[in-house]
A and B are shown apart, each in its own frame.
Chain A
Amino acid sequence: EPEVTQTPSHQVTQMGQEVILRCVPISNHLYFYWYRQILGQKVEFLVSFYNNEISEKSEIFDDQFSVERPDGSNFTLKIRSTKLEDSAMYFCASSVGLAPNEQFFGPGTRLTVL
């Protein structure tokens, strides 16, 4: 069964460093998303991406964040200068269409900023 994959599963970085989180969505999906969950808090929407551009972003998704689909299969989230408060589990998701179509989630990348 097709699935969304994410790498790495765990990333440890120093404050101020750049990180790139990688995702491979399901191949025939058209919509791509990033969410994050800070420990003990809600899963929060970051950004959605369609037709090679951002279609929606939340107030969390500031200039430190960017997304890219560099090669038609990968979907990446870059954080330019990480802060302690960026420590969270980051989930990638993809869907054939907009909600209520199902969003398929990857297993997540745990980012720890020291």
Chain B
Amino acid sequence: GNSVTQMEGPVTLSEEAFLTINCTYTATGYPSLFWYVQYPGEGLQLLLKATKADDKGSNKGFEATYRKETTSFHLEKGSVQVSDSAVYFCALSDNRGSTLGRLYFGRGTQLTVWP
């Protein structure tokens, strides 16, 4: 079946530190992969996505590359800011079959960045 595993949090970093949040997936087909972010008191927002192998999604300094060989989609940022403090969710969607609509999420990783 389809599932997502992401690294347990919380992650605490100092400002300007390098961030990696690991995400691996299991999928029956050829999924699309997403990172969503949830700021306090708000809904989940799409941060970036990649729809096929070797695609790199990027937004706001964050990047993630769709690696089919390692079934991974790790989130990275070279220099985090206090404003990046949020919960980050890795997710996938199946691009065929009967589950076209649903997203499969990981548990979320709480990131706290200190000044």
Contacts and interface: CB of A to CB of B under 8 A. Distances in A.
Contact of B107 (A31, A41, A102, A105): A41
Contact of B102 (A41, A56, A91, A107): A56
Interface in B71-102: 89, 91, 93-95, 98-102
Contact of A99 (B4, B101, B108): B101
Contacts of A2: none
B41 interface: yes
Interface residues of A, number: 30
Interface of A: 3-4, 6, 31, 33, 35, 37, 40-45, 48, 50, 55-56, 58, 91, 93, 98-100, 102-108
Given A4-B43, A56-B101, 19 more contacts: A31-B101, A33-B101, A33-B102, A37-B108, A41-B107, A42-B106, A42-B107, A45-B102, A48-B101, A55-B101, A56-B98, A56-B99, A91-B44, A99-B102, A99-B103, A105-B44, A107-B41, A107-B42, A108-B43
Interface of B: 4, 32, 34, 36, 41-46, 49, 51, 89, 91, 93-95, 98-108
